[in-house]
Structure 1
């Protein structure tokens, strides 16, 4: 079933599919508590619910939260959807698995993104949201809990690994995939090349999935 994706809501793309592949490899106990952070249409939340997990989906966008509710209803799956900024709606809760496909595209200018761009623009280094996740996610994981986080290699996977390791998690890149430049990146290739993030020969973007586990 193709998910309902209204204008302004991030539709499932290559990064969603890559993270879904890694999710499928996770051995989740029945009723595992799963958090889908920045759920968009709810595609990943629905995948987790199909595995028998108890899923909470969060998005800062009202449109995304509504889309996720509609898609859960259409699929007949029990997904609890909350609207809010990152972890704010689930403070005090803990999870066996946290899924995150956050904004990670480097963007010129210092202002915070607005509108649909909130789904991809993430500051000059692409880490406006990534660093918050690395800082705040460990406190919401249960012992043995796992964070699965997808982002672009342009956004510094080594920094992600270092920050998660500093928080006490065992972290590694577990999946990589090269994809053609999307519309957003194509529109800022010159800027990315000027700042050295891409060379003139680069014709693809690498996506990575980081898996970080809190020791028991």
Structure 2
């Protein structure tokens, strides 16, 4: 069954598919506690539930996304608890075996990420790292020993930087998946600005999506 997507909700795209591929690479999730950060339509939370996770929690800051994920969970007859809130705040004090995250990561023309509108689903601040860095800094206390984080973002906001930030937080980190795609409408519209900022090459018209895997020591 296809997923429903309410207006103003980020629909599953190449980054969602790449993150789901990485999730499948983790093998069976039987008995696992899973967190989906920036759930959007709920696609990854439902993928975890289908793979046998015992408990699945999904978080998004947008009410439209929360309602969409709840609706898709109900239609799929899967048990997913969907919470509204800012990044990791709704699950403070909880622990998970696997955390998947698709935070906004597109470098923004403005200094700050928007607080409303559709752009909130993809705008990541001036270097695309505002939400990514917050995730790297705050995720380890939510991970059980041996727990895994899978986070997807664009090469434009710095693959090596994310690897290093996770290592600084105490996680072993590596690139789990890569996939190159043509610039979408948002990146095409600001291609000149990205090149002027040194975030994209002179003739670059494609973007490499990466899934970075962080693992907390057992």
TM-score (norm 1): 0.98
Counterpart Cα distance in 1 of 2:24 and 2:69: 20
Q: How does 1:22-171 map to 2 (within 5 A)?
A: 22-53=22-53, 54-113=55-114, 114-171=116-173
Q: List gaps (5 residues or longer) in structure 1.
A: none
What CA distance in whole angstroms lies between the structure 1 residues aligned with 2:27 and 2:163? 22
Q: Deviations over 1:45-72 (max 9, x none)?
A: 0000001111000000000000000000
CA contact (8 A) 2:57 2:82 kept: yes
| Residue 14 of structure 2: aligned partner | 14
Cα deviation digits, residues 92-125 of structure 1 (max 9, x gap):
1000000000000001111331311111001110
Residues 130-157 of structure 1: per-residue CA shift (max 9 Å, x gap) = 0000000011000000000000000111
CA RMSD of aligned residues (A): 0.9
How far the C-alpha of 1:184 sits from its partner, in A, is 0.8
8 Å contact from structure 2 (residues 11, 40) kept in 1: yes
Structure 2: runs of 5+ lacking an equivalent: none
Stretches (4+) displaced over 4 A: none
Rounded Cα–Cα distance in structure 1 between residues aligned with 2:108 and 2:35: 27
> In 2, distance between residues paired with 1:136 and 1:89?
13
**Cα distance between partner residues in 2 of 1:130 and 1:31:** 28
Question: 1:43 and 1:10 mapped to 2: Cα distance?
Answer: 11
Distance 2:28 2:168 in 1: 26
Give distance in 2, aligned partners of 1:79 and 1:210. 24
TM-score (norm 2): 0.97
